[in-house]
Every structure is written in structure tokens, then in C-alpha cells.
Chains A and B, each alone.
Chain A
Amino acid sequence: MDQWIIASEFAEVAVSLDTEANGPRLRLTDLRGGRVRYLDALELEALAWLPDERMRELLDPSAGRWSDGRRDG
């Protein structure tokens, strides 16, 4: 299985093509946090078309991994 590491001083993620399922998927592993996520073709397409504004929201640490578990007022 070919694997690439996409790394910067801020994050390190392993990326590989997963063929275990009924169709191909991209497998992401956060090498610092251990979390694994699969992305299918449609999800990748959505990411490719994601407006920059939405990507910026995803980069907000409180948007996911480091949220208080409460909705913003």
C-alpha cells in the first residue's frame, strides 16, 4: 500500500488509497492524534468544491477537536 506523509510543522497526516471496501477510499491518519478517517469519492469532490470560507471555519480549533461540546450562542 502506497502511503504519503503530508507534514508541516503544524500537522502530520498519512494519506493512502484504501481498497478493502467495495469501492476505493482515501484513508487519512492523523499521525499526531491517531485519528483515522476515510473519504469516498463524493466526499472528496465536495472538499474540492468547498468554498474557502467553509475551509476556514473547519480550521477553527473550536469547530471540532477542541470544542467545549456546546453550541455557540
Chain B
Amino acid sequence: MAPHTEQLSRPAAVRLSGLTRSFEGRTVLDGIDLDLPAGQFTALLGHSGSGKSTLLRAIAGLDHEVAGSGGLTAPERVSVVFQDSRLLPWMRVLDNVLLGLPGKDAADRGRAALAEVGLAGRERAWPGELSGGEAQRAALARSLVREPELLLADEPFGALDALTRIRMHALLRELWERHRPSVLLVTHDVDEAIVLADRVLVLDRGRIGLDLTIDRPHPRSYREPLLGEYRERLLAALGVTEDHA
């Protein structure tokens, strides 16, 4: 199938028009216009301090006291995965997954979500007993059990070791294929963006500096030569020269 053309014809899940955000007079987001089609897996790259988190938090509706203007529409059901797993230490893993989830069958759905991320049997563990990767998987289960239309993730794998990260990439992609939420994944890792996403954005000086569609089949390997071309373009957009790369 041709996922990309199919996605473009879908309605936008997220629409930003002239989105501006500034801190103490310093403009961080400078009139961003952006559509994220429903069900698209998008990655957002950018230098540290370029405003990736600011953009994500704006879409999540978490920037209460930030000055700004512009139009913003986002779906009803939005889940956020943070860099830290942000599990509440005083609740068992299952209760963490169920946090804020209404409904009678919530517990069953929670168990199913935990099983899906490979944590079956750990429902009654305390978060403090999980490894970093397990905790992040529990956080993933917590965000998926709500069947989000939009999944926002801010460097969700940033604190994990390289091996765990690769396994988490596969898991995330697999979960996405099954549930098909729109995904906006903030990362500083160019390879992570290329391997996972169908579209990569580069945030630069408050605007989308590069909007790159990666129309390659999945699963993708890190060594796939064709991906090197995308890497070059992204690194160039990030202003990374050969000797830094």
C-alpha cells in the first residue's frame, strides 16, 4: 500500500496556524503553520532549546501561563509520554496505567495494555521496582489504554540505553500500526526519527525549517543505505557539518 498518499487525503488531526509562543519577550515559536494528518507518524527534530517541548506542550494544552497567539486544533483524546516515565510511586503499575481512565472494564483494558507492552504479570509491582525500560513501557501502556487519537511523546526514549531504545522503537512502531493514532515524536536523535517516522520536521528559529516525507517501507534498518540520504538532509537542516556528525 502507499501509506503516505492515503494519509494526505485524511483530515488533519492537528492544525496549527500562526502559532506563536514566547517567554519573557523571547519568541520561541514564531508563527508556525502545520497540519498533521490523522494517523500519521511524525517526528520533530531540532536543536536543544529550539522549542520542541514548547510546541508539544502547546499542542497538549499544557502551557497555561505562556504568552502566545495563533490557532490550534487538536483531537479530543490526547495522550502524552514524557521523557521520564512519570509513574506515581505510590500506585502499583496497573493503577498507574488506569489513572484517570473511566469505565467498568477499565481494569481489563489496563491489563491488556500492559500485556501489549510485555509487562503481563507485573501489574502489582511498584514503579520503584521496574527498570528504566520497563517503566517507560508502563508509561506507554498508560497512554495507549486511553485509545488516543493523538499521541505526543517528548523524547520518550532519551533516558534509555541504546539497546533498550532500539527495542522500544520496534514496540512503538508496532503499537502504532495496531492502534493508528497520530503521533508526534519529539527527539534529538536523527536516526530515531528516520527509522520510525513517515514524516520528519525540523524546528529551526521558531519555524518549521524542513518538512521531509520518508516514503520507505517498514520495518527499517539503521543501516539501510537509502536512509543515509535522508540523514544527510536532516543533518544539514540542523546545521551539523561533516566533522560534527
Mutual binders A and B:
no
